A and B are shown apart, each in its own frame.
Chain A
Amino acid sequence: MEPFQNFSGIVAPLDRANIDTDAIIPKQFLKSIKRSGFGPYLFDEWRYLDHGEPDMDCSQRPLNSEFILNDPRFSAAQILLARENFGCGSSREHAPWALADFGFRVILAPSFADIFFNNCFKNGILPIQLEGALIGVLFEKASGIAPLRISVDLPAQLLTLDDGNQIPFTVDVGSKQRLIEGLDDIGLTLQQADAIREYEARRRIEAPWVFV
């Protein structure tokens, strides 16, 4: 995984609660056995007026002009602003794959669904949970004529708005470290192979029926 670098990016406000992973990437695209190429189908049912199918050339499809990501001001957005319970529903990692492939690196919301939240970190996306009232203020700022730009400093755990206002955020220490260093989780866990083997030997004695 690429290490997470500090950056300054445009905020796309997606004003809806309970956005589920099927809205993020509809089921028909899950038939792919690849990990990449999902960006053009991100929010497919909201973004296009026709029905999307895998391997379609999206440059020719009719766009829904009312959908926020079709507004040219947000076409290069790297920060997604959303409401409660973002990423609920199916555990599909295709959701963060599609978000990352589109170019999103940070998601701001008052709450996230647990599995989605976890999946983000595995794919270089930083999900940040902020208080509902603060999210409300950000929606106001991001919905003005000029798009809102925010600088993200992960080591300092600080967001800086283009008007100079700063917002600190929290992130789990381990997840932060892995993002910054772009570490491979599996490689790290395998460094503890001896501890796993020891545990397993103990469990084989305590609960032998698990191993039949």
Chain B
Amino acid sequence: MGSKTLYDKLWDAHVVRVDETGTALLYIDRQLIHEVTSPQAFEGLRLAGRQPWRTSANLAVPDHNVPTAQSERASGIADPVARIQVAALGTNCASFGITEFAMGDVRQGIVHVIGPEQGFTLPGSTIVCGDSHTSTHGAFGALAFGIGTSEVEHVLATQCLIQRPSKTMLISVDGELGAGVTAKDIVLAIIGAIGTAGGTGYVIEFGGTAIQALSIEGRMTVCNMTIEAGARAGLIAVDEKTIDYMRGRPLAPTGELFEQAAASWRTLVSDAGATFDRVVHLDAASIAPQVTWGTSPEMVLPIDGQVPDPAAEADPVKAAGIRNALNYMGLTAGQPLAEIAVDKVFIGSCTNSRIEDLRAAAAVAAGRKVSKNIKLALVVPGSGLVKAQAEAEGLDQIFTAAGFEWREPGCSMCLAMNADRLEAGERCASTSNRNFEGRQGQGGRTHLVSPAMAVAAAVTGHFVDVRAL
């Protein structure tokens, strides 16, 4: 007893009851809702004649299906099935009294961008959403994780979830990051090191001097991809950067209540003597810009690497995985990553669509032109407010002058549920988080990179070390 991890503190503060088997009823402070994983939950509520337990605990926004082209926004969603789903969110929120930032509202955007931006995401809280990248909000020292639709309904109806405690892992990244190396590269390197199932059953706390040195937005990028490392939730201790970020957010507490909250938030760190079930160390200085080459985020290498050879892999299941991936990705063993040419470029998603991401991308794009072999280069801001801020800073001008398209906020080509997608065989440098087969369109080939690396690929036409531009 005595020393607690940050996870233990969050868990203990939210347990309503524990039964004799160790299963707990965990109180959920806040829930974010989007159009894809909620309609069946609302339907379930309605069929059972139930009302939301605490309506104000929920905030909804359409993001997955919304068009990012201004023309389609004006004329209404072209895809009739998607249109019905987005409309259903509106109707459901209206009938249950839940606040929704609908299309056209400047606050609309990707659910994991708008939660923090509005101050709906609070340090020390439990936050869920029917979306696996809910792990993003762990950057605030909040216990945040993705759930299925049945659980969305469960939270709506009871404000609780049935949970068992997770194991804890500390990933400590120490030292100084090199110039041109970003939070995205850190998290890709972590996934490369522990594998996509490395975090299964764990909640991962990210610590160490390199994590402390990150901005809040960088921390969100790291926590966002915790799920790609197999863990449902990622955590980063609260510090003064967290508190400064919260101050003045529209939905954050104000005045005396803010100071009271801040005092409590400052305790959201793992105690000195706390022990973790597993500890992993990474040296920040040794991390280079990363590029994924395969169909799983763990298939990742530094930009100076070469496509691996399945014949060199001793484990037959892994070798088959590499062979499948090379086949799908249209790559050959031994090919240098820097020689892979790209067809499309996507800058956006809940991983990398915040203002700092756009600034980093614009810094590389400034004064350069998108290469002739690139068919489409998209920049999709994470929210209407991010878009407005970028425009106020003139970033949109830099992008369009370089040949990028500047779009309306949404998930867009991260999962290609709307019109933005890859055609079969097309290769994309993408700042999103998943490179699974077909993720950005059936037959599409995704390589995950940081915003700066995506722009570097756009302006040269192939992957290249942004530090050498």
Interface residues of A (CB under 8 A from B): 15-18, 20, 22-23, 26-28, 30-35, 45, 51, 54-55, 83-85, 88-93, 96, 111-115, 118-119, 122-123, 172-174, 185-186, 189-190, 192-193, 195-196, 199-200, 203, 206-212
Contacts and interface: CB of A to CB of B under 8 A. Distances in A.
A84 B317 CA distance: 9
B241 interface: no
A51 B252 CA distance: 46
Interface residues of B, number: 78
B37 A93 contact: yes
A35 B157 contact: no
A96 B151 CA distance: 14
B37 A92 contact: yes
Contacts of B40: 33-35, 93
Contacts of B201: 114
Contact of B196 (A18, A32, A199, A200): A18
A210 B260 CA distance: 12
Contact of B146 (A45, A84, A115, A206): A115
A195 B37 contact: no
Contacts of B436: 20, 22-23, 89
Contacts of A190: 157-158
A2 to B, nearest CB: 14
Given A186-B153, A189-B160, A209 B29 contact: no
B460 interface: no
B147 A91 contact: yes
- Highest count of chain B CB atoms <10 Å: which of A90, A193, A212: A90
A91 B131 contact: yes
Contacts of A200: 27, 54, 159
Closest 3 CB pairs of A and B: A93-B148, A33-B39, A209-B253
B381 interface: no
Given A88-B196, A93-B149, A26 B132 contact: no
A210 B120 CA distance: 9
Contacts of A118: 147-148, 151
B151 A83 contact: no
Interface in B182-200: 196-197, 200
B75 interface: no
B213 interface: no
Contacts of B317: 17, 83-84
A114 B200 contact: yes
B23 A172 contact: yes
A189 to B, nearest CB: 4
Contacts of B13: 206-207
A34 B148 CA distance: 14
A192 B122 contact: no
A119 B162 contact: no
Nearest to B321: A17
B141 interface: no
Interface in B74-126: 79, 81-82, 84-85, 88, 122, 124-125
Given A199-B16, A209-B257, A85 B196 contact: yes
B167 to A, nearest CB: 11
A88 B37 CA distance: 17
A141 B365 CA distance: 56
Contacts of A195: 16-17, 25
A195 B124 CA distance: 21
Interface string B265-300: 000000000000000000000000000000010000
A200 B56 CA distance: 14
Nearest to B197: A85
Contacts of B25: 189, 192, 195-196
A28 B419 CA distance: 11
Given A33-B39, A208-B257, A22 B438 contact: yes
Contacts of A189: 25, 154, 157-158, 160, 162
B43 interface: yes
A31 B82 contact: yes
Contact of A186 (B23, B50, B415): B50
- Highest count of chain A CB atoms <10 Å: which of B30, B148, B417: B148
A50 to B, nearest CB: 10
A84 B153 CA distance: 29
B150 A16 contact: no
B296 A18 contact: yes
A21 to B, nearest CB: 9
A51 B81 contact: no
Interface in B22-42: 23, 25, 27, 29-30, 36-37, 39-40
A196 B132 contact: no
B158 A119 contact: no
B434 interface: yes
A16 B157 CA distance: 38
8 contacts: A27-B415, A30-B64, A31-B82, A90-B132, A119-B148, A186-B158, A196-B158, A207-B264
A174 B21 contact: yes
A196 B187 CA distance: 37
B264 A185 contact: no
B439 interface: yes
Given A33-B43, A90-B132, A113 B158 contact: no
B232 interface: yes
Nearest to A55: B81
A85 B196 CA distance: 8
B245 interface: no
B327 interface: no
B151 A122 contact: yes
B312 to A, nearest CB: 18
Nearest to A174: B23
B88 A33 contact: yes
Given A89-B434, A115-B132, A207 B148 contact: no
A111 B448 CA distance: 25
B128 to A, nearest CB: 10
A54 B318 CA distance: 34
Nearest to B20: A173
A32 B257 CA distance: 43
Nearest to A92: B37
B440 to A, nearest CB: 10
Contacts of A207: 13, 124, 261, 264
